[in-house]
Chain A
Amino acid sequence: MKVKRWWLVPASLVALAAAVAALVGASTGGASSGKVSGSIEVWVDAVRLPVAKLYAKTHPNVKVKIVTYDGDGNGATTMQTKIQLWNRTGKGWPDVVFTEQANDPVWMGQPPFDFAMNLKGVFPASLLTGWPAPSLAQCTVNGRLVCLQDNLAQEVLYVNKKLMAQFGYQVPTTWQQWAALGTKVAKEHPGYIIGTVGDSYGHWLYLWPDQCPISQVVAPKTVRINSANAHCTRMASLLDPLIANKSVSTVTIFSPDFAKTYGGDDDKVLLMPGPTWYAKDIFGGTLKIPAGQMTAAMPLRWNNEPPVTGQVGGGPWVVSKHTKSVAAAIDFVKFATTSLAVKSKPGALSPGYPSYGPAATVWLKNLNKDPYFAAPPGAAMKAAAGLVWKGWSMVTYPDQPIWSNSVVTQLIAGKSLSSLLPALGKGLSNNAKAAGYRVVNK
């Protein structure tokens, strides 16, 4: 009993401190001290803009210049171009950069770009323990911690609970059940979909969770790209009949076509493998699917194989090694990633699953309370966080455009995914070689 009590005292103190911190955080800016001063330039995408603005508002001692850019979304190379130019002129680098591209830090962290600061020893070590190990591993380049993920983007299966109940379907747990359902849907309820492969990250949603080795760094500067591997072809064979019977769409979820065809009050999204940041943002916002329909289920697994899942982004924050205001830059990243003022609830400030564990716990609690969802989606998301397959490495070249222009364009033209896998492999190999990688198949 005594032991228990002793354990309880610090525990309750921690809880109290956390509550105070949360309260203080909401007014003064969370985990960041608020005592830091200096001036920083921050480059963010449109989604992270409110966070930067909030920091500027709550930290009058820090002069913040905010610049918005495309965030390198969908494989754009804006930041690469800019850093290239700043490096050539020897000045002008921003102090903090957010990128939507989870692979960006890989080239930012090494020559010739050599832009990212090693955060090890600079960022409070006590906070770093809050990030999941795979997330930190993904941000580690040549032993240096060159970024901190803003959010995790693990893939789950979104389920339209209302439609599933209406049609009398069971929520699938394996890709096989999912495919069987797709065949059934095409017959019984044509027009309804169970997913789309038309996004620029379609291969992350379908090939990553089947452990297809087309982006696997096996040695320094050596990448394994084998689109003929059974883990790629079996998923393609599974998808092809579904693409043909139109239960899996080939249109990107971000196009007006998609929202018009599948969104709105009489939406036609039955199931949808997608990352955690889809949640209310995409289903409620982009697709205008009414409240009380969507929820999340565990990611699909291949038959009875151990469950693994894919990942779509999980944009990181990067601090420039050229910054003159290290304290302010670090304070900013601390605020953006760990403070409860930003990360406590799903919404404009934190649409994605927070990568910082303690924040994620609070975030999930609030997500589960959100009346938008037909059932609390948090448990599935939390479970999926640890299931992301680690055989898919971050590389210096963006692979999204290759999927888009060598696969999606041809799927739309009526070809089968199986017939396009060689082209995907070739496109990836070409780009890998152009980026200086050695490519191996086996």
Chain B
Amino acid sequence: MEATRTRGLRVPRGAPFVLPYLPFLIVFGIAPTIYALDLAFTNAGGGWVGFHNFVRAYDDFRFVPAFKHILIYTIVWLGALMVFVVGLALLLHGRATRVSATYRFLFYIPGALAGAAAVVIWLFMLDPTVSPGSFLLRHVLGASIFAQSIAPGNLPYIFAMIAFWTGAGGWIVVMYGALNTIPPDLEEAARIDGAGPFTIAFRLKLPLIRKWIAYMLILSFATGTQLFVEPEIVQHASFGLVPDTWSPNQLAYQQAFRYADFNVAAAIAVDLLLIGLLGAVLIVSRSGLFRAED
């Protein structure tokens, strides 16, 4: 009884914080979703067609390869985010303030570039004739020309690298902030009990920032499966060496604007939405993101 009353009071109090965002959520989030759902289950004339558009989308020869690409990409990228973002944040948290502030700034800089600009920088980074890291391209990728750097097998890793480079800095800062919420006395108590820095990091700090990690994974999973800018720009820059339907989102774009088939495009968008939701539900239930007692 007590709990319901306080909850009843909290909603209107939270409303002013939510309200300014609400119109944008409706116009740019909810309404397009409903529109996409409507398009996905109807034909060009507006008649109900059930799952026909989904079947047509699946039957397209580019559908399965696009999802395969994105599967490898998302695994590589999320793996890298988990290990390096959390690892670097833990390392930084153990450092003196000034050192860690400098590093946080350095990590964050690439994230300040807009997505497309970051990809353009990578076009140079990946071209062995101009890249400052050409020795790496030669030895790691075995590439002596740009076309070899972006060989089909390398692409998921390259796009994951670009995404990590632009996105990881922001998450390191977020994780660092999360680590700061851990009360210092907890850490001190652990130290008195004989825990070393390694034990403190993995047995104490890591479980306490679990929810932030889950939050990062949900958002990154959704943006990862919706990859568009990186393959699109590399496709143009390479004169078509990379297909223009490398990712499902690109395929949806092509279906809509090249084949004028907005219904199949919407079906692919709904597929992506479902995958994103499924990923979120899994992560939320596994990590206990919304569990109140923690």
Binding site for B on A (CB under 8 A): 70, 74-77, 80-81, 84-85, 112-113, 198-200, 250-252, 254-257, 260, 400-401, 403-405, 408-409, 412-413, 430, 434-435
Contact = CB atoms under 8 A, between A and B. Distances in A.
A401 B240 contact: yes
19 contacts: A74-B239, A75-B240, A84-B256, A113-B260, A200-B240, A252-B239, A256-B127, A256-B130, A257-B129, A257-B147, A260-B129, A400-B239, A404-B238, A405-B152, A405-B243, A412-B151, A434-B60, A434-B61, A435-B259
A109 to B, nearest CB: 15
Contacts of A257: 127-129, 145-147
Contact of A251 (B62, B147, B242): B147
B268 to A, nearest CB: 14
B231 to A, nearest CB: 11
Contacts of A434: 60-62, 259
Nearest to A74: B239
B259 A255 contact: no
B154 to A, nearest CB: 11
Interface in B136-170: 145-148, 151-152
Contacts of B226: none
A80 B129 contact: no
Contacts of A113: 260
Given A400-B239, A404-B240, A408-B147, 7 more contacts: A75-B240, A84-B258, A251-B145, A256-B127, A257-B146, A401-B240, A405-B152
Q: Is the interface of A mostly helix, strand, loop or mixed?
A: helix
A421 B277 CA distance: 42
A139 B156 CA distance: 41
Interface of B: 60-62, 127-130, 145-148, 151-152, 235-236, 238-244, 253-254, 256-260
A256 B237 CA distance: 12
Contacts of B128: 257
Contacts of B235: 401
A252 B148 CA distance: 12
A255 B147 contact: yes
A401 B61 contact: no
Contact of B258 (A77, A403, A405, A430): A77
Contact of A76 (B148, B152, B236): B236
Nearest to B130: A256
A394 to B, nearest CB: 16
B145 to A, nearest CB: 4
A70 B243 CA distance: 17
A75 B243 CA distance: 11
A405 B240 contact: yes
Nearest to A201: B239
Contact of A405 (B242, B253, B259, B260): B242
B241 A255 contact: no
A400 B53 CA distance: 28
B151 A409 contact: yes
Contact of B241 (A76, A84, A405): A405
A275 B58 CA distance: 40
A113 B261 CA distance: 12
Nearest to A107: B258
Given A77-B254, A84-B257, A413-B151, A255 B145 contact: yes
Contacts of A412: 145, 147-148, 151
Nearest to B260: A112
A81 B62 CA distance: 19
Nearest to A199: B239
A404 B240 CA distance: 6
Contacts of B257: 77, 80-81, 84-85
A189 B128 CA distance: 25
**Interchain residue pairs A-B with the least CB separation, the first 6:** A401-B240, A404-B240, A81-B257, A430-B61, A74-B239, A257-B145
A252 B241 CA distance: 10
B258 A80 contact: yes
Nearest to A259: B129
A42 B61 CA distance: 36
A408 B241 contact: yes
Contacts of B242: 405
